[in-house]
Structure 1
């Protein structure tokens, strides 16, 4: 057992000096072929008796100067060995210099013969290093638990993979042993790196089947999504934990700890190839501009805030009525250094007087409109609030942007506005119409439309996570239901790109990739949590909620698309707007607060003829 307290430094110095003495003795024994008689030893001792004192004095001063006693021996690192090398080399070099001084200035004898110094130097450095390595090895063995070690496969035999291997071997608390590397490079397959075999990824299934692998750790950064998904799903299907090495940005001094190796999450499975944006064009458009972001404390709004701040605007105005969420965002931003100035405003976009004051005070040149009520079942029960916030609030901002000569107004819409089957989707389609109809003056009104955003407030993934933490069941409305997904950063980047490229009147549609079955999403989240479907947790079907669709769409039947310079951004061709449309919208706004929700919803259907309610009390209006 190792002592709980560190050995005093003076004892370590004495041990190092003793090792130096032993090394000097061995050097003489080798020089004399271990056959020298007593008279020869006596003669040599008379020559070097004062040299021995100098030897220990120099070694003591140099060892203390380099601080070789300061390192904790059982945790010796490469930097400690570097200090040992420098200290030993420096002291031997001093011995040689002092030898020349003695020879030429005193009695024509060297401090020690050069051959002795060379032999002593080799043995001294060797013994000092080995003693520390042995202590470290004995310590690591002594603290190892009797718990059976679990095998780990590391995907990626590069720098990140090697660092992960060394960290695992160093951390005796985690009881893991590296079984091998897997890598896509066939040329290194079959080789060994630091004693660990490298396998080609084509053998992953076979390795997981034949060996008791506990974890697969993905160590490759910026891995192609398709490859990452295959690795994760292969591991999950084999009942193996899949984890990932953190981004180098979070490493400390070029390394990381075992606690930073995290579970892969559903975002890793659904994420796609990172978007490459025209950073120069974005910087040119937003630099030194006053930018207003509504709904700034929401998932999309806060994402836009973080990205806009990178392009050095003159001022970013954060507007939201959610006081607590806005406070949290403000606190987060204040921790960042070197960001652009920002102003936090608590306010309701439906308060026309308050919004007018805001525009007069800050005079924004850009407006990103992300404020909206978005929960389908809740808006189905409260259509007046859906219209008040999503329609009236948007109209107030649109009118102010026109009258105050805002340069660009970018509205965040949703795929639920396409062939809407619910009040929320219809209210967002009407908001799109308002923005399109206003595109007649100096202000350029641009609409962006996309599907569900991973991890956004109120989305299905946070809901499933809570249900899994609570032991289930996971509730899925229908086994057939599918949705499009993208990450928050991806959605925000595309909004910025569309805002820059738009010249007014466009509806930008984002390439959402393939739609995902929600029940498959739930099953993967169960596996990622280390649980077994049907044993640890179950999926329960609750039936479609009022207004809910089985499938989402990004385009109306009457809309076509045209390509842009960005492969993930398309433009929906504009549908002609009836001159009567704004009159109908004003009638809708006049109906806000009516006791009879049917009257309000009926007027929404007049404005949006394709609005056909699904599984809702308002379905009766579609039959008339």
Structure 2
């Protein structure tokens, strides 16, 4: 059966069948006109008539390549080609008979034009029926194949849905049986489109029982609207798997490949409508500029590189100390942007000499600082390293930006810097405080003291603050996916823990947009949407895999990790926001710190850091950031000692 589905007739056989039908139709029409008087027919010039017709038909059909299409995939266009070929054959034959055969060779007419008229309708009908019959037989064999297991409904009843239905039926693998369409338009419900019924969306539960539906197929772009997401979540609760297909313009060579049909992922449900950004403004901000991206091999940094390259910069310098990810990013960028100027720079941002070399060699105009240690439990166990990278590394880059007159320095911060309960968030908050304090410098002096790295402050220092991003390195979603693939258990730290989520491209779009707004000293916070309960996230991912939580895959609670808190915040209680022209970006009205005081505190922190006395280091961090209260951490005892 599988061999029958995958084989197709050779082109010459299709051409032969077409010619046999054409000749038989002509002969039948001839006999009808002669009233089946075979003796008279054979004494006449029948062989001349049919021989000439066969030659003309063969030349016409071969020239128009009617035989080259796969019969099982016949369409309206193929039927049009058949009618055209039959019409041209008839017209050419009629012209030859009337202008050459009859007058020159003195062959009596047998009302050949009436023969051609009858032959036209007979042959056209038969040629069409053969193709439609072969197509129907192919679909019947495919549906009868034991490999067919999945009964599906297509979401939507529009032109794109019809294209999807045709593409699925044209597949030779027999994977799907199309049971119908789903729509909420009353003008379409209970109507038939392409021999398939359109059902009302709200009847999905009844349809699951009646039609034994296994899956629903939906275009991925439709998932960005709230009502579609509600429908999808309803399907998930009912145990109906959801498949996604890309928009038709992304179909390979205009044909849908079965490899493009994907199982719905949790990231698809968490996505929001696309962000509208001012591309012209960003382009004018970055075009022909030299742009440095630190942490360029990471999740956020690499996406910044990708998006910045689309705005025609003069040069993009990618700095990281991770050799292999840098190499992979370089290969990707060389393939996607072969004409772009990209420099790969391996270096540690805590190494001031190495960073000086970077700035000296490339003299960046814009810096996007994404390099940081971000994993909360790991930094809780290694506070001195968090301070080195997140504080000293940021200070090195910010000071060098002043030295080399960088136009703009954009720091990527985190929601964990707000009312921090851990080392990582506090180290990022101290970094925020430092780069903000640099905006208080005027003509290189504060309280009469000259900043050691600059004569006149020109650099705009901007901070962007957002929560978790989908698909980032170390994200909870890849972890849950691995646990589900292994059969569980899926581990959640606490039943009430919630987090904000945003896609990586969305976050970077807002970073670039915020960078165009900043005058210096602002902390931009992003609209992260509604917080997501992590246990609900875990349960949905299990259901998306076609399994039942706590039946097929157990969900267990392991307790909050060191430094972890239940709820993340984007604003301190003492902070307020100022709206911007972009509805998803606001400016946080934060407290401002004296540059001299901040530098003094950081210098002392760095001296303590060199001693590797973690208690003293964390005690100093709590003095710099009074709102830092440890949670589930060995440093909680210090909260009672800090005045």
Same fold by TM-score greater than 0.5: yes
1:40 Cα deviation from its structure 2 partner = 5.0
Q: Distance in 1 between matches of 2:249 and 2:636?
A: 53
1:288 Cα deviation from its structure 2 partner = 1.1
Deviation string, structure 1 residues 499-554 (Cα, Å, up to 9, x no partner): 01111110001111111111111111110111111221111111111111111110
Structure 1 residues 383 and 534, CA, compared in 2 at 3 Å: closer, same or farther? same
1:80 Cα deviation from its structure 2 partner = 4.6
CA contact (8 A) 1:310 1:339 kept: no
Q: Out of 53, 56, 68, which is 1:55 matched to?
A: 53
Hey, what does 1:587 align to over in structure 2? 604
CA contact (8 A) 1:76 1:132 kept: yes
Q: Distance in 1 between matches of 2:207 and 2:20?
A: 51
* Corresponding pairs, count: 620
Confirm or deny that 1:329 pairs with 2:329. Answer: yes
Hey, what does 1:450 align to over in structure 2? 466
Q: Out of 607, 610, 623, which is 2:627 matched to?
A: 610
Structure 1 residues 551 and 54, CA, compared in 2 at 3 Å: closer, same or farther? same
CA contact (8 A) 1:102 1:111 kept: no
CA contact (8 A) 1:152 1:213 kept: yes
Q: Distance in 1 between matches of 2:11 and 2:527?
A: 65
Q: How does 1:211-230 map to 2 (within 5 A)?
A: 211-219=211-219, 221-230=221-230
CA contact (8 A) 2:510 2:585 kept: yes
Q: How does 1:77-116 map to 2 (within 5 A)?
A: 80-102=78-100, 106-107=104-105, 113-116=112-115
Partner of 2:48, secondary structure, is helix
Q: Distance in 2 between matches of 1:521 and 1:38?
A: 81
Q: How does 1:97-496 map to 2 (within 5 A)?
A: 97-102=95-100, 106-107=104-105, 113-143=112-142, 144-146=144-146, 149-171=149-171, 173-208=173-208, 210-219=210-219, 221-337=221-337, 340-439=340-439, 440=441, 441-496=457-512
Q: Distance in 2 between matches of 1:178 and 1:7?
A: 26
Give the stretch that moved more between structures: 583-592 or 450-459. 583-592
Hey, what does 2:560 align to over in structure 1? 544
What is the Cα-based RMSD across aligned positions, in Å?
2.3
Greater than 6 Å deviation, 4+ residue runs:
1-5, 108-112
Q: Distance in 2 between matches of 1:97 and 1:341?
A: 67
Partner of 2:379, secondary structure, is helix
Hey, what does 1:560 align to over in structure 2? 576
CA contact (8 A) 1:293 1:317 kept: yes
1:194 Cα deviation from its structure 2 partner = 1.0
Q: Distance in 2 between matches of 1:519 and 1:42?
A: 87
Q: Distance in 1 between matches of 2:170 and 2:71?
A: 15
Confirm or deny that 1:509 pairs with 2:508. Answer: no
Hey, what does 2:585 align to over in structure 1? 569
Q: Distance in 2 between matches of 1:590 and 1:419?
A: 25
Structure 1 residues 338 and 184, CA, compared in 2 at 3 Å: closer, same or farther? farther
Which TM-score applies when normalising by structure 2? 0.91
CA contact (8 A) 1:447 1:507 kept: yes
Q: Distance in 1 between matches of 2:592 and 2:67?
A: 82
Give the stretch that moved more between structures: 216-225 or 296-305. 216-225
Q: Distance in 2 between matches of 1:95 and 1:517?
A: 77
CA contact (8 A) 2:223 2:269 kept: no
Q: Out of 22, 25, 29, which is 1:23 matched to?
A: 25
1:64 Cα deviation from its structure 2 partner = 2.5
Partner of 1:335, secondary structure, is helix
1:391 Cα deviation from its structure 2 partner = 0.6
Show structure 1 runs of 5+ residues with no match: none
CA contact (8 A) 1:99 1:111 kept: no
Q: Distance in 2 between matches of 1:574 and 1:614?
A: 23
CA contact (8 A) 2:467 2:528 kept: yes
Deviation string, structure 1 residues 314-337 (Cα, Å, up to 9, x no partner): 111111111111111112222225
Deviation string, structure 1 residues 16-66 (Cα, Å, up to 9, x no partner): 22211111022223434xx354565357x33x5433322222222223323
Structure 1 residues 437 and 245, CA, compared in 2 at 3 Å: closer, same or farther? same
Q: Distance in 2 between matches of 1:391 and 1:227?
A: 44
CA contact (8 A) 1:164 1:219 kept: no
CA contact (8 A) 1:464 1:474 kept: yes
1:458 Cα deviation from its structure 2 partner = 0.4
1:406 Cα deviation from its structure 2 partner = 0.8
CA contact (8 A) 1:209 1:238 kept: no
Deviation string, structure 1 residues 474-522 (Cα, Å, up to 9, x no partner): 1111111111111111101110110011111100011111111111111
1:381 Cα deviation from its structure 2 partner = 0.7
CA contact (8 A) 1:140 1:172 kept: no
Give the stretch that moved more between structures: 138-147 or 175-184. 138-147
Hey, what does 2:640 align to over in structure 1? 623
Hey, what does 2:543 align to over in structure 1? 527
1:125 Cα deviation from its structure 2 partner = 2.6
CA contact (8 A) 2:490 2:538 kept: yes
Q: Distance in 1 between matches of 2:612 and 2:364?
A: 38
Deviation string, structure 1 residues 359-401 (Cα, Å, up to 9, x no partner): 1221111111100000000001111110110111100110111
Q: Distance in 1 between matches of 2:220 and 2:635?
A: 52
